[in-house]
Amino acid sequence: MNSTPPEEALALYIHWPFCVSKCPYCDFNSHVRESVDQNAWRAAMLQDLAYEAAQLPGKRLTSIFFGGGTPSLMPPETVAALIDAAAGHWDVADDIEITLEANPSSVEAARFGDLSRAGVNRVSLGLQALDDEMLGWLGRAHDVREGLGALDTAQAVFARVSFDLIYARPGQTPESWRDELARALSFGTEHLSLYQLTIEPGTQFAARFAKGELPVLDPDLAADLFEQTRAQTVAAGLPAYEISNHARPGAESRHNLTYWRYGSYAGVGPGAHGRRGGMATVRRRKPENWLSRVDANGHGIESEEILSPAARAQEALLMGLRLREGVDLERVVALSGMPIAQLVDGHAIERLEKLGFLERSGSYLRISEAGVLLLDAILAEVVSA
């Protein structure tokens, strides 16, 4: 595992905003376009990256994550150019993790070899379901056969493979999810991201839900499925290390751990967010607006905000308590320069600890297994606004 000191480590997020189609549940910054000027986009991405690198000298790059959108639609030469440019801007860790999100279509799987040669060493596949009818309902363009074919290709090409599934879907029972998850675990990947279906504002599903056209699972059943998921993945050797992410020990996503541990990360591309120490950065969301901003200013930034020490501490607490390892309160105090009594409610912590919902070990505070289902309520009680 990487031994780079936290103050020197840097994660890089690169956002590719384009998709073949918009999934009805998706609220990510993704857009459908008939054509994309690949040369113009490559040049703009490299320019945005160069600007961000100039603001973050002396860092050691520990991970790169290509997200979207559908970054597996990127030409491999663009991926290679961005990886090479990043290596020119920063010192690179010997064990750098370079992840790319991919749709599991046969067309995109055909590019996996080229993407691996470009430097990608970890892929995250959006399988989403192992049921053809449900894939159609989710608006996915692939079927199970095509998705599993892409998974086979990914496992043959990349050193590390993860995939996503959505559960707590309408009509799903504990028995059907048990069987689907058991099948997913049988494929032997080192990492799974397992998300409960949520109705996000602004999505097609939200519009259908407002009209009464979309059934939603009973909350008690959803809670049962969540607990079942935790037990099943533990038994298979892929325990949860974050609310929705499961991995074999040592196979956790290093890039995402940087977020949850509140490290520094640079965000490049439309809508990308970043944290340069105490500064929050946000890029323009709409692809055309971002492109125009890069052309005019040499970067796609919409806003740069210096966060107060208290705001940084609050973010670190909210992110860190999602992790099974919890959050280091001594580090949070160091981030803010404020006493811990001003950052968390000590009385709430004591009460929740007695109830078995929180655990303390040294300077670490974490949500217990019994408290995970109550995460949002616990955060609201513990973290001072």
Per-residue model confidence as pLDDT tens digits over 125-147: 999 999 999 999 999 989 999 99
**CA 262, CA 248: separation in Å to the nearest integer?**
22
- Output the pLDDT for position 217: 77
CA 13 vs CA 51, 63, 206: distances in Å: 14, 8, 28
User: pLDDT of 328-359, one tens digit each?
Assistant: 999 999 988 999 999 999 999 999 999 999 99
DSSP 374: G
Question: Does residue 1 register a pLDDT over 60?
Answer: no
- Output the pLDDT for position 2: 47
Query: For the whole prediction, is pTM greater than 0.85?
Result: yes
Residue from 17, 15, 14 nearest 30 by CA: 17
Question: Does residue 188 register a pLDDT over 50?
Answer: yes
* 79: its two tokens: 């991926």
User: pLDDT of 75-99, one tens digit each?
Assistant: 999 999 999 999 999 999 999 999 9
User: pLDDT of 25-68, one tens digit each?
Assistant: 888 888 999 889 999 999 999 999 999 999 999 999 999 999 99
- Output the pLDDT for position 4: 66
- Output the pLDDT for position 157: 96
Residue from 153, 140, 69 nearest 106 by CA: 153
User: pLDDT of 358-373, one tens digit each?
Assistant: 999 999 999 999 999 9
Question: Does residue 216 register a pLDDT over 80?
Answer: no
Query: Exposed, middle or buried: residue 113 (CB in 10 Å: 0-12, 13-18, 19+)?
Result: middle
Residue 301's CB is within 10 A of a number of other CB atoms, namely 21
- Output the pLDDT for position 150: 95
**CA 325, CA 239: separation in Å to the nearest integer?**
12
Ordered domains of the chain (ranges, CATH): 9-260 (3.20.20.70), 309-382 (1.10.10.920)
- Output the pLDDT for position 8: 78
